[in-house]
Structure 1
Amino acid sequence: MNILLTGGTGYIGSHTATVLVQQGHHVVLLDNLSNSSDAVIGQLAHILDAPPVFVRGDVRDGALLDRVLREHAIDAVIHFAGLKAVGESVEKPLDYFSNNVQGTLSLLQAMR
């Protein structure tokens, strides 16, 4: 199965990618690297003996999502591209709304 993991280079996304690949699935990691690093790709390549497909981009970019879903024949999506720091969310509520709500809506529209 071809699975898109948004937030795929984060802690939970990268661990999920490892398990999915070990179970025989093909993963595509989408991440804007706002809370992670592309060094994770190298670490995953070492663990999995091959680098996963990585797309640097934002979950709010509908055109990018459309392209990734189509080009990689995605069968399923696991959405981890959310911001989650409580204190920061109080300081920057519009940033959190944009990423978490608008990002999820963009992803759902692309999946449609």
Structure 2
Amino acid sequence: MTVLVTGGAGYIGSHTCLQLLQAEIGIVVLDNFSNSQPESLHRVRQLSGKDFPVVQGDIRSKEDLRKLFKQHAISSVIHFAGLKAVGESTEKPMLYYDNNVAGSLNLFEVMAEFNVKSIVFSSSAVGE
């Protein structure tokens, strides 16, 4: 089993990666590092004692996604690659729409192309 963790270099993503590795589940991380740092994944490697592929790419690019799915036998996805700063989202609504909606749709479409049917979506942003 290999789980694709989108946004895996973020706070929640990196902690999830560590838990998956400690449970002996293989991972591939996809992150564009727009609001995260590659160093978090170095720490995951140190703590887990395991290596894993990291792909610098973007869910808004079907080309990036297709290439990743062709190179790795992805069985499921945990999707954390979302933008969530409320203030910025009101200043740049199209950026947030493009990433969070269009990017997620790209991911879902490529998952369907590769017959990957299992996804967990999570967000730390809460609305009222």
Which blocks of at least 5 consecutive residues in structure 1 are unaligned?
none
Conserved 8 A contact 2:21-2:50: no
User: What is the Cα-based RMSD across aligned positions, in Å?
Assistant: 0.8
Once the two structures are superposed, the pairs formed by residues 62-73 of structure 1 within 5 Å of their partners are 62-73=62-73
Once the two structures are superposed, the pairs formed by residues 22-41 of structure 1 within 5 Å of their partners are 22-41=22-41
Partners of 2:69 and 2:77 lie apart in 1 by: 9
Where relative contact order (Cα < 8 A, 6+ residues apart) is larger, the structure is 1
Partner of 1:102: 102
The alpha carbon displacement at 1:53 in A equals: 1.1
Partners of 1:34 and 1:51 lie apart in 2 by: 23
Q: Does 1:89 align with 2:77?
A: no
Once the two structures are superposed, the pairs formed by residues 10-29 of structure 1 within 5 Å of their partners are 10-29=10-29
Partners of 1:85 and 1:24 lie apart in 2 by: 33
Other structure's SS at 2:55 match: strand
Q: Which runs of 4+ in 1 moved over 2 A?
A: none
Conserved 8 A contact 2:62-2:106: yes
- State the identity as a percent: 47
Which blocks of at least 5 consecutive residues in structure 2 are unaligned?
113-128
Question: Any idea what the Cα deviations from partners look like across 1:15-51, whole Å, max 9, x if unmatched?
Answer: 1111111111100000000010111121111111133
TM-score under structure 1 normalisation?
A: 0.96
Bigger drift between 90-99 and 43-52 goes to 43-52
Question: Any idea what the Cα deviations from partners look like across 1:56-82, whole Å, max 9, x if unmatched?
Answer: 011111011112112110000111000
Other structure's SS at 1:13 match: helix
